[in-house]
Amino acid sequence: MSTYTQINLVARPQPGPITPELFELVKKDIPKAGPGEILVKQTHMSLDPAMRGWMSPDMDSYVPPVGLGEVMRSSGLGEVVESNSPDFKVGDRVMGMMGWTEYYLGSGEGLRPVQEGLDAEMALSVFALPGLTATQGLYGFTEPKAGETIVVSGAAGSVGSIVGQLAKADGLNVVGVAGSDEKCNWLTQELGFDGAINYKTDDISAKLTELAPKGIDMYFENTGGPIQQHVIDHMNAHGRIIVCGMIADYSSAQPSPGPNWISIIKKRLMIQGFTMPDHFDQVPALVGKLAPYVMAGKIKYRAHTIEGLESSIEGLNLLFTGGNKGKLIVKL
Amino acid sequence: MSTYTQINLVARPQPGPITPELFELVKKDIPKAGPGEILVKQTHMSLDPAMRGWMSPDMDSYVPPVGLGEVMRSSGLGEVVESNSPDFKVGDRVMGMMGWTEYYLGSGEGLRPVQEGLDAEMALSVFALPGLTATQGLYGFTEPKAGETIVVSGAAGSVGSIVGQLAKADGLNVVGVAGSDEKCNWLTQELGFDGAINYKTDDISAKLTELAPKGIDMYFENTGGPIQQHVIDHMNAHGRIIVCGMIADYSSAQPSPGPNWISIIKKRLMIQGFTMPDHFDQVPALVGKLAPYVMAGKIKYRAHTIEGLESSIEGLNLLFTGGNKGKLIVKL
């Protein structure tokens, strides 16, 4: 094979599903690595909810959007097939922001080596954006304490599932919110969550009373939607809320209103929004924080793998419909 | 005079104005101070928005409500007329939570001496709940930095006016939001605010664009209402919001919805609610922080004084209609 495919973003998404017209498939000749450069054959790409934001031009003060005509941004894992860099040798596995492309050519800046023996799916499911985001969000702004109760929305998602398992390992009472009985069963039976709520079918408030009888001390928000108000109603004084995602609203033209702020005063709540790109300089420390939990077997994951570069486009929509079961990965 | 009047709370408020039926006037004989006790003739009482919360039974995890049949809670200033306590002597002026009563009898615990030469209205307007709340809110959770822009809602109120002046003294660009042109003029012409917005008549978003051209770094929230969304739309990344009051919603049966949380993520906002009773142990430090600004003539205030204990009942409503001009004080 002397050509490869990359996918460029050529239009901005409108509210609603991601459509193929937003992208352009480009066939290119496989290049040679120039001086100081490496050529990486990407084998796995990660699809993450943040990507919708990267496609949008209105993300004021967030990371800059992907430029039109540029390769779609994504993180992935691959193998160095040519190297003119002293930092990499042929055969090295590397991970980082390589984009929607079968081959990456560049200096390798920002790419990290992948530990030998670390499964590609685990690398992308745990030691990439999901695990780093979970670790930063759970520990970076407030300290979770044994005996406290945490509620995690989007709990079966790639970030939420790790947040819940970390909190469980720390001795918290962990309640997950997800959108199907299958996901809820996975949380409680496989991941060890203390309880799970199916927001589509359960009486959310009644389940919170049952599963968080001493009230809620921390809320890790991945979804938005009507769960917010119920959780706030059950929160304890001095509760902390980490706002990591609003996946229920990313695709909607008219975002739903949030809770009234009176409870923020009455309960003296602290609410902190964050995005992972602000904390990329802390990645080594975050990996260091996360690794012992993984080594101790506390962090399970499941990957939902789809095949082929072009499957990414339709794959993105799975993240916003809840159609994926586990970390969404594209195998190239 | 051998009798005095106190006012007890006898019913819980419903949404809407405070009504006389909630209270009972009680005539009592003026007591003698027992062993270790002091008798204080109260001369000035402070009326504060927090009092509505103290009257309500549903303030879960907040300070306990005033019990039915008990004297209505309030802070005030008075003169010791009898003392069997080593800590106080006759003629001392004291300040603290004495309630809606012409005479206070007790151990004096929690009462603070009032500096000689300090005007009673200034003591209650600056060195009591309003000034302490302003100081804790502005400095207790995040550091205001010279050159930043802060927006203060309820800016002509007792807390907001001090917040704005402290911030101005610290070199911030200070924008106040208030409900009349008269209040706005007072903010800019008397208190030195850089700009003011009349939320009832101005185009809030256009005025924010004009008065906060570099965006908003801090928002000090005293009122709630539609200002919230406009301010959030103009906030900078890593903005901080201190939620001190929601006066627009305290009296309403149906609190208005808050802003959607997507901006909390995109802008990585930190939102902190607080109530002053959590910080009563920090009062000496707060006075120490506030005093130099006052001594330097940076903190102006105006008192809105009404006369007679019974005027308190109708007086409370002024706080929720914006009818008061300055710190509301009852002169006994």
Residues in A closer than 8 angstroms to B257, CB to CB, are 257-260
Give A28-55 pLDDT, tens digit per residue: 999 999 999 999 999 999 999 889 888 9
> CB distance A258–B256 less than 8 Å?
no
Closest partner CB to A273 (pick from B62, B224, B268):
B268
In this structure, which CATH number among 3.40.50.720, 3.30.70.1560, 2.60.200.20, 3.10.129.10 belongs to the domain B130-277?
3.40.50.720
Distance, CA of B176 to CA of B231 (rounded, Å): 12
Contact B268 A259 (CB under 8 A): no
Q: Number of helices and strands (H, E) in chain B?
A: 11, 15
Structure tokens at B150: 């802060």
What is the spatial distance between Cα A81 and Cα A39, in angstroms, rounded to a whole number?
Answer: 6
Q: What is the CATH number of domain B3-119+301-331?
A: 3.90.180.10
Contact between chains at A265 and B243 (C-beta distance less than 8 A): yes
Residue with tokens 């929305």: A153
Q: Does B269 touch chain A (CB under 8 A)?
A: yes
Contacts of A264 in chain B (CB under 8 A): 243, 271, 273
The domains of chain B are located at 3-119+301-331, 130-277
User: Which residue out of A228, A268, A270, A320 would a mutagenesis test of the B interface target, given it has the greatest number of B Cβ atoms within 10 Å?
Assistant: A268
**Domain A130-278 has what CATH class?**
alpha beta
The whole-angstrom separation of Cα A318 and Cα A47 is 10
Residues in B touching A246 (Cβ below 8 Å): 260-262, 265
Contact yes or no for B261 and A275 at CB 8 A = no
pLDDT of residue B75: 92
pLDDT at B248 exceeding the cut of 90: no
Contact residues, chain B, for A245 at CB < 8 Å: 265
Would A3-120+302-331 and A130-278 be classified into the same CATH topology? no
Q: Which of B221, B236, B273 sits opposite A269 (nearest CB)?
A: B273
Dist. CA A301–CA A186, nearest whole Å: 10
Rounded to whole angstroms, the Cα distance separating B108 from B95 reads 10
Alpha-carbon gap, residue A50 to B27, rounded angstroms? 67
Residues A317-327, mean pLDDT to the nearest whole number: 87
Is the distance from CB of A314 to CB of A308 less than 8 angstroms?
A: no
The chain A residue lying nearest B64, using CA atoms, is A266
Task: Please report where in the chains the tokens 């809840």 appear, as a residue.
Answer: A322
Indicate the pTM of the whole model: 0.89
Chain A CB within 8 Å of residue B244 CB = yes
Report yes or no: B225 at the A interface, CB cutoff 8 Å: no
d(CA A157, CA B321): 47
- pLDDT category, A61, cuts 50, 70, 90? very low
Give the pLDDT of residue A253: 72
Which residue in the set A257, A266, A274 is minimally distant from B258, CB to CB?
A257
B243 has a chain A CB within 8 A of its CB = yes
Arithmetic mean of pLDDT, B299-321: 93
Choose the closest CB to A274 out of B224, B263, B268: B268
Q: How far is A263 from chain B (nearest CA, A)?
A: 8
Per-residue pLDDT at A311: 96
Of B62, B221, B264, the CB nearest to A271: B264
Q: Which residues have C-beta within 8 Å of that of residue B84, sequence separation ≥ 6? A: B33, B34, B35, B36, B37, B38
Task: Please name the member of B258, B262, B272 whose beta carbon is closest to the beta carbon of A270.
Answer: B272
For residue A236, the chain B residues in CB contact (below 8 A) are 61
Rounded distance between C-alpha atoms, residue A52 and residue A315, angstroms: 12
Q: What are phi and psi of A287, to 5 degrees?
A: -60, -40
Q: Which residues of A touch B270 (CB under 8 A)?
A: 270-273
Average of pLDDT values for B146-163? 96
Instruction: Choose the closest CB to A271 out of B221, B271, B278.
Output: B271
Q: How many whole angstroms separate alpha carbon B211 and alpha carbon B149?
A: 9
Whether B70 has its CB under 8 Å from any CB of chain A: the answer is no
Write the burial class of residue A332 (CB in 10 Å: 0-12 exposed, 13-18 middle, 19+ buried). Answer: buried
**Given the DSSP bridges, would you call strands A3-9 and A23-29 parallel, antiparallel or unpaired?**
antiparallel
Residue B195: in which H helix or E strand, if any? strand B195-198
Residue B221 distance to chain A (closest CA, Å): 10
Nearest to B4 by CA among B106, B98, B101, B107: B101
Terminal-residue alpha carbon distance, chain B? 14
Share of chain B above pLDDT 70, in %: 98
Which residue is it, tokens 């209103």?
A257
Residue A139's region, left for phi above 0, alpha for psi from -120 to 50, else beta, is alpha
CB contact under 8 A, A258 and B255: no
From the CA of B141, how many Å to the nearest CA of chain A? 10
Using pLDDT thresholds of 50, 70 and 90, give the confidence band for residue A326: confident
Q: Report the gap between the CA of A158 and the closest CA in chain B (Å).
A: 18
User: For B105-126, what is the mean pLDDT?
Assistant: 91
Give the residues across from A106 on adjacent strands. Answer: A38
User: Is A295's Cβ below 8 Å from some Cβ in B?
Assistant: no
Mean pLDDT of chain B: 93
Q: Is B50 left (phi over 0), alpha (psi -120 to 50) or beta?
A: alpha
Residue B58: band (very low, low, confident or very high) from pLDDT cuts 50, 70, 90: low
Q: Which residues of A touch B246 (CB under 8 A)?
A: 260-262, 265
Q: How confident is the model at residue B61 (pLDDT cuts 50, 70, 90)?
A: very low
Dist. CA B329–CA B311, nearest whole Å:
10
d(CA A101, CA A104): 7
User: Which comes out higher in pLDDT, residue A241 or B62?
Assistant: A241
- When pLDDT is averaged across residues B203-231 and rounded to a whole number, the result is 96
- The residue with tokens 């609603």 is A16
How many whole angstroms separate alpha carbon A244 and alpha carbon A220?
7
Q: Inter-chain contact A262–B255, Cβ cutoff 8 Å? A: yes
Q: How far is CA B295 from CA A282, B69, B166, in A?
A: 44, 42, 12
Task: Examine the pLDDT at B117 and tell me if it is beyond 50.
Answer: yes
Number of CB pairs < 8 Å for A and B? 120
Enter the ipTM: 0.87
Q: List the structure tokens of B73.
A: 């809670």
Asked whether the predicted pLDDT for residue A60 surpasses 60, the reply is no
pLDDT tens for A106-117 read: 999 989 899 888
Of A217, A259, A263, A148, give the one whose Cα is nearest residue B62.
Answer: A263
How distant is the Cα of B156 from the closest Cα of chain A, in angstroms?
20
Region A129-133: mean pLDDT is 92
- Rama region for A39: left / alpha / beta (φ>0; ψ in -120 to 50; rest): beta
For residues B249-273, b (16+ Cβ closer than 10 Å) or e, as one string? bbbeeebbebbbbbbbbbbbbbbbb
Residue of A221, A261, A268 with shortest CB distance to B221:
A261
Using the beta-carbon criterion (under 8 Å), do A268 and B265 form an inter-chain contact?
no
- Give the angle A75-A141-B239 at the CA atoms, nearest 5°: 85
- Whether B268 sits inside 8 A of A269 (CB atoms) is no
The answer to whether the Cβ–Cβ distance between B262 and A59 falls below 8 Å is no
Buried b (16+ CB within 10 A) or exposed e, B202-225: bebeebbeebbeebbbbbbbbbbb
Establish if A60 touches chain B: CB-CB under 8 angstroms. yes
Are A61 and B260 within 8 A, CB to CB?
A: no
Instruction: Provide the pLDDT for residue A62.
Output: 59
- pLDDT at site B312: 96
Identity of the amino acid at B284: P
The pLDDT value recorded for residue A73 is: 94
Measured torsion, CA atoms of residues B149, B154, B156, B158, in degrees rounded to the nearest 10: -110
Q: At the topology level of CATH, where does A3-120+302-331 sit? A: Quinone Oxidoreductase; Chain A, domain 1 (3.90.180)
Does B48 contact A at CB distance below 8 Å? no
Mean pLDDT, residues A82-90? 96
| pLDDT bucket at A323, cuts 50 / 70 / 90 | confident
Compute the C-alpha angle A170/A172/A176, nearest 5°: 115
Q: How far apart are CA A178 and CA A165, in angstroms?
A: 15
CA distance A184 to B69: 50
Q: In this structure, what token pair is assigned to residue A331?
A: 């195998």
Q: In sequence order, which ranges of chain A are alpha helices (DSSP H)?
A: 50-55, 120-125, 129-139, 158-169, 181-185, 204-211, 227-233, 247-250, 262-266, 283-295, 311-321
For A268, the closest of B262, B266, B274 (CB atoms) is B274
Q: How far apart are CA A84 and CA B80, in angstroms?
A: 86
B70-81 pLDDT, tens per residue? 999 999 999 999
Is it the case that residue B171 has pLDDT exceeding 50? yes
Q: What is the pLDDT of residue B331?
A: 97
**Which DSSP helix (H) or strand (E) runs through A27?**
strand A23-29
Q: How far apart are CA B124 and CA A39, in angstroms?
A: 72
pLDDT class of A1 with cuts at 50, 70, 90: low
Whole-Å CA distances, A155 to A15, A193, A246, B148, B294: 24, 10, 13, 38, 51
Q: What is the pLDDT of residue A205?
A: 97
